[in-house]
Amino acid sequence: CSSSCGIKHGRFRYTSEQKLFNAVVEYECQKGYILVGEAKMSCTLLQWISPETVTIKCDPGYKMVGSQNISCSEKKYRSLDVPKCEKVGTEDCEIVLKGQKLIQCISSPQDSKAFLELHKLSLEIEKLE
């Protein structure tokens, strides 16, 4: 690979002993700039490539622990790199889906049913007004 892998407003360093074939470089930005794209690239078959990135999302009622973006490599995923989805505890009583508050935590099924019936009634009243 050519050694011309510099970026504007940033720098790179080799993270592998090889500097041509099978080279790996890692990028970082100057203060005040944000990196767009992959931080690491490797040279294979005379061209620079970046690893495939996978974005992980949690189901409603769960929160992400770790980074939602992980990269594939020949060595697969390291277990430390894979984020986890943890159930939201009682301290996080609100479930948020697509930026809208849907429901507050309610302690019993009977209370939940009553809340949903009242909510439905309030929506019907809004339509009539």
Q: Does domain 1-50 have CATH number 1.10.390?
A: no
- Residue-wise pLDDT for 8-24, tens only, equals 677 777 777 766 667 77
Task: Quote the mean pLDDT of the chain.
Answer: 66
Residue 1 pLDDT > 70, yes or no? no
- Residue 19: CB atoms within 10 A of its CB come to 13
Q: 78: part of which helix (H) or strand (E)? A: none
- Residue-wise pLDDT for 68-103, tens only, equals 666 655 444 444 456 677 777 644 444 444 333 445
- Residue-wise pLDDT for 109-119, tens only, equals 666 677 778 77
Query: Where along the chain do its domains lie?
Result: 1-50, 53-87, 95-128
Closest CA to 68 of 76, 52, 57: 57
Cβ-Cβ contacts under 8 Å for 123 (sequence gap 6 or more): none
Closest CA to 95 of 84, 106, 111: 106
- Residue-wise pLDDT for 52-71, tens only, equals 565 667 777 777 777 766 66
Closest CA to 56 of 44, 36, 46, 71: 71
